[in-house]
Structure 1
Amino acid sequence: MMRLKINQKQIYLPDCVGRGYGTYWHWKGRYRVCKGSRASKKSKTTALWYIWAMMKYPDANLLVVRKVFRTLKDSCFTELKWAINRLGVPEHWEIKESPLEMTYKPTNQKIYFRGLDDPLKVTSITVEHGYLCWMWIEEAYEISDEDDFNMLNESIRGAIPPETRLFKQVTLTFNPWNEHHWLKKRFFDNPDDETLAMTTNYLCNEWLDDADRKEFETMKRNNPRRYCVAGLGDWGIVDGLIFENWEEKPFSVQEITALPGIRSAFGLDFGYTNDPAAFFCGLIDQRTKTIWVFDEIYKRGMSNEAIAEEVTRAGYAKERIKADCAEPKSIDRLYTLGLSHIHRSRKGRDSVNNGIDFIQDYHIIIHPKCVNFITEISNYTWDTDSRTGKKLNRPIDDFNHLMDAMRYALEDFSRGDTFSFE
C-alpha cells in the first residue's frame, strides 16, 4: 500500500495513479523504458511518480528533456502541473514559465526543462540543492541519433552518498512507431539487469470512458495496422516507404533564402479531435531539386481561431498558404482572421500520387526541430491489400498530415506556376 503524507494529509496513491504500472513505479535500476500506445497513461504515470518521488527524496533533482525545447511546455510541463494538482499539493510547488522550471518549496529541489536543440544547456546544469539524479526523456522516439542519447545519459553522473537513499535513473517514454529505431535494439532486444523495458496500452487505463474505448475498437476494425501500434503499443513495421530521399540536418534559413532561385512554400492540413492541424513551412530550389523543411505547427484540438493565432505568432500570417480545399468554410474564416494570402488547394483526380511523384524527384533536408515531420516521413508508406498482402498504389491513411500539407504547399511548383512569397 502506497501513501503520501503531506502535513498530516494522507493520499492513497492507487486512487490517484491507477493500476498497471506497479513494476514501473518501484523500479530503481538505471534505465526505466516504457513504450506505449495512445491513452496508455504512461506520461501521466511518469509525471505522478516524479512529483511523488521528489517529495519523498529531499535531495533529488530532475531534468526533463525533449528533442526540441519548445515542445516541452505543452507536454511534460503541463503533465507535471497536472500531477501536482492530482496529488493535491499545489501549495508546495513554485511553477515558473520563464525560465521553465518547478521548485519544491520546502527543500528547494528543482525540476529543470531542456531541449536537445541547445545541448550546452543540457550539459551545464548545476543544481542548487542535492543531486541531479533523475532524467525523464519524453517522446524519446524523436531522438534519432543514439549518440545524442549517450550525451544526455552522461549528464546523470557523479557519486551520491548512500545515506540519501537516492539512485540514478533515466526514464524514457515514447510511442513505438518504427521497429528499426535504436531504442528497440538497445533496451528491448536484450535488456540487462539495470533495465526495465515494458509495453503498456489503453487496456490498462481504467479511466477511459466508453467513447474512448469505442475509438480503439473502431481502429481495430478499420485500421488493424494502426491499431497494433497506436492501440496495443506494438512496434511499427515500416515497409514500403514513400519518401526515402530525405535527411535530417541543421541549416540556416537565412543562408538558404539568400541563395538565388529559392522560393518559400506553406501548406495547411486541417484537423481537430483525433487528427492534428498540420502547418508545413518549406523552401524549394527547382534548379537543384532541393526542398528544405524549416518549421512546422502540429497540434490537436485547434479551432480556426487557434490556427490563425499560432500561424500569426510564428510570423507566417502574410505568407501565401495553400490549405486543404475540403474545408472552404475554414479557409474563408482564416482569411477573415488575418491569413490574407490563404488559398484552396486544387485537388483533382490522382492529385495525391502526382504530388508524391513530384516530391520524390527532390532531395528533402529537414531541420531537426521539425520532429513531427520527421516522424511522419519516416513512417509514411504505401498501403497494403489486406487480402493479398500486396502493396497498393496509394498511401496509408496515417502519418499523412504534414505530408498532405507539404503537397498542398508545393502544388503550384508541381503544376508549373512558381511564385516568390517574400
Structure 2
Amino acid sequence: MTKTKVSMSQALGKGYNRFFHAKNFYRAVKGSRGSKKSKTTALCYIHDILKYEWANLLVVRRYSYTNKQSTYTDFKWAANKLNVYDKFKFNESMPEITVKATGQKILFRGLDNEFKITSITVDVGILCWAWFEEAYQIENQAKFETVVESIRGAYDSPDFYKQITVTFNPWSENHWLKAAFFDEETRYKNVFADTTTFRDNEFLDEADRVRYFDLYSTNPRRARVVCDGNWGVVEGLVFDNYEVVDFDPIRKIKEIGLTVHGMDFGFTNDPTTLPSSIFDKEKNELWIYDELYEVGMLTQDIYDAIAERNLLKAEITADNQPITIADLQSKGVRRIHRARKGADSIKAGVSFMQGLKIYIHPSCEKTIEEFSSYSYKQDKKTGKWLNDPEDKNNHIIDAIRYSLETYSIQDKRNINDRLNAFKAILG
C-alpha cells in the first residue's frame, strides 16, 4: 500500500481511526444516515486485503441481489479512492473481486439461504473476514451465527487474525443486534462496538447537513436514529403487533388468496409508496411482502413500477389525487381508485391494523423502518402520549391503511351493529 502514496488517514477522514485499527473478532458499528460507515468499511478492507496476503473476505447482505448496487460498488469506489483499482479484477456478473497478484477473493453473498454460505472455500489463503452490511435486515441471530461459523481455521502467520464486521442503522432497541454487540451483560466476547454520525463525515455537502439538522426540529424522534445513531425507542410506538419473518410470498398467496395493494403519492420530499400484502381475514393476519418507496416519480414512472409488479389489473386503493389517478387509469391501471378517507379515517384505519397480527418480509426494509418509528404525538408539557398518531414516518403505513379500507369500514359497521343490538336488548 505504501507504493500507492495514498494516506489512509486522509482517505478515511475523522471518526474511524479506532475502527480501522481494531483487531477484535467482532467489530460492530451502528451509525446514523450519512455517517460513511459503508464507504469506510470498504476502504479498510481494500487496504487490508492488499496488506495481508493470507486474507479473503466474505461480504454478506440479507439478499444477494442488493450487493451489486451497494457493497460491490463501494469496493470499486474504494479501490479508485486509494489509487489501487488496477490491482484488482472486478467480475460484474458474479459479482466477485480478485487480487490480481495473489488470487485472493472478495466474495459477495446473501442470506437468502444461509446454509449455502457455510460451504464456501477459497483457493489462496483462508476465508478469515466477513462483513455483514445493513445487518438490521437480518431478522434473527441464528442466521448470523450460521455464517459466522464458516469463518474458521488458522494460518501460520504472526499477524493473522479473524474478524466479523457488522454495520447497520439502529431502528429498534428490541433488535437482537443490541443485545449481541452493545449491551454489556449479553454481548459476545471480544467485541469492538462504536456509534458514528453524519458529523463524522466531513465529505458531506452543505445541503445534506442542512437536511439532517432540520430533522431535529421537524421530527426529533426520528432524528435520534437518523442523525444521532441512537437506538429507536419502543415507547410511544403505534404498532407493537408486527414481526419480521422470512416467508414465501407465492406460497402464502396460494394458501390465502387475497392480496391488497395501496398507494401514497409523493414527489420532491415525500416518497411515492406501493406496499403489497396478503390479508387473511379468518386469522386476522397481514403478510406484507413487497414495497415501492421512491421520491421524484412521474406518472409514467409510477405506471412502469406498477407494470413491473404485474399489478396493472389489480385493485389499488390510492391517496386522493384525482389527476394522478386519472392519468394512471388512462395508461391502463384500470382498477386504481381513491381512498374514501373521511372523518376519523386515520384513527379507524390504524385501530383496525392494530387488531391484526402483521408479518413483514425482511426485504421490505422501508416498511420495517416505518413500523419501527411510527409513533403517537406526545404532550409537550406533561410528556404523556396522546391517542393521535403523528403524521410522520407513515408513507407506507398510510398506503397499507388505504389497501385495507374496505375491510376496516366493514369492521366498523359490524361493531356499530353489535352496539346497536346490545342497546336494543337493554331497552
TM-score by length of 2: 0.86
**Amino acid paired to 2:228:** L
Task: Give 5+ residue unaligned stretches, structure 2.
Answer: 412-427
Q: Which of 121-130 and 28-37 deviates more? A: 121-130
Find the counterpart in structure 1 of residue 382 from structure 2: 388
Q: CA deviation at 1:132?
A: 0.9
Find the counterpart in structure 2 of residue 294 from structure 1: 289
CA contact (8 A) 2:284 2:355 kept: yes
Alpha carbons of 1:67 and 1:21: their partners in 2 closer, same or farther (altered >3 Å)?
same
Per-residue Cα deviation, 1:28-74 (whole angstroms, up to 9, x for no partner): 11111111111111111111111222222222211111222233233
Number of matched residues?
A: 409
Q: 2:59 matched to 1:25? A: no
2 CA distance for matches of 1:132 and 1:304?
Answer: 48
Relative to its length, the structure with more strand (as a share) is 1
Q: CA deviation at 1:155?
A: 1.6
Per-residue Cα deviation, 1:217-245 (whole angstroms, up to 9, x for no partner): 21112322222221111222111332233
Find the counterpart in structure 2 of residue 402 from structure 1: 396
Find the counterpart in structure 1 of residue 420 from structure 2: none
Alpha carbons of 1:112 and 1:299: their partners in 2 closer, same or farther (altered >3 Å)?
farther
Per-residue Cα deviation, 1:141-197 (whole angstroms, up to 9, x for no partner): 22232222221221211112225x331111111112222322222222226772111
Find the counterpart in structure 1 of residue 350 from structure 2: 356
Q: Aligned ranges for residues 71-110 of structure 1 at < 5 Å?
A: 71-110=66-105
Find the counterpart in structure 1 of residue 149 from structure 2: 154
Per-residue Cα deviation, 1:326-346 (whole angstroms, up to 9, x for no partner): x55544555566544433333
Find the counterpart in structure 2 of residue 228 from structure 1: 224
2 CA distance for matches of 1:85 and 1:271?
Answer: 36
Find the counterpart in structure 2 of residue 370 from structure 1: 364
Q: CA deviation at 1:287?
A: 3.2
Alpha carbons of 1:216 and 1:306: their partners in 2 closer, same or farther (altered >3 Å)?
same
2 CA distance for matches of 1:292 and 1:192?
Answer: 33
After superposition, the CA RMSD in angstroms is 2.7
Alpha carbons of 1:254 and 1:33: their partners in 2 closer, same or farther (altered >3 Å)?
closer
2 CA distance for matches of 1:68 and 1:17?
Answer: 28
2 CA distance for matches of 1:109 and 1:311?
Answer: 42
1 CA distance for matches of 2:119 and 2:298?
Answer: 39
Per-residue Cα deviation, 1:194-213 (whole angstroms, up to 9, x for no partner): 21111111111112222222
Alpha carbons of 1:379 and 1:14: their partners in 2 closer, same or farther (altered >3 Å)?
same
CA contact (8 A) 1:117 1:369 kept: no
1 CA distance for matches of 2:346 and 2:210?
Answer: 30
Q: 2:325 matched to 1:312? A: no
2 CA distance for matches of 1:27 and 1:88?
Answer: 24
Find the counterpart in structure 2 of residue 284 from structure 1: 279
**Amino acid paired to 2:201:** N
Q: CA deviation at 1:401?
A: 2.6
* Aligned mate of 2:135, from 122, 136, 140: 140
Q: 2:182 matched to 1:188? A: yes
Task: Give 5+ residue unaligned stretches, structure 1.
Answer: 418-422
**Amino acid paired to 1:156:** I
1 CA distance for matches of 2:51 and 2:397?
Answer: 46
Per-residue Cα deviation, 1:327-372 (whole angstroms, up to 9, x for no partner): 5554455556654443333333322211112222222233343343
1 CA distance for matches of 2:150 and 2:297?
Answer: 37
Q: Which of 110-119 and 80-89 deviates more? A: 80-89
Find the counterpart in structure 2 of residue 420 from structure 1: none
CA contact (8 A) 1:92 1:104 kept: yes
1 CA distance for matches of 2:210 and 2:293?
Answer: 25
1 CA distance for matches of 2:161 and 2:329?
Answer: 55
Find the counterpart in structure 2 of residue 172 from structure 1: 166
TM-score by length of 1: 0.87
1 CA distance for matches of 2:296 and 2:117?
Answer: 31
Find the counterpart in structure 1 of residue 262 from structure 2: 267
2 CA distance for matches of 1:303 and 1:109?
Answer: 45
Per-residue Cα deviation, 1:300-348 (whole angstroms, up to 9, x for no partner): 56555544444433433432222333x5554455556654443333333
Find the counterpart in structure 2 of residue 238 from structure 1: 234
Find the counterpart in structure 1 of residue 416 from structure 2: none
Alpha carbons of 1:161 and 1:228: their partners in 2 closer, same or farther (altered >3 Å)?
same
Q: 2:178 matched to 1:216? A: no
Per-residue Cα deviation, 1:90-149 (whole angstroms, up to 9, x for no partner): 333333343222223332222222222211222121112221111111121222322222
Identity of aligned residues (%): 44
**Amino acid paired to 1:17:** L
Q: Aligned ranges for residues 48-59 of structure 1 at < 5 Å?
A: 48-59=43-54
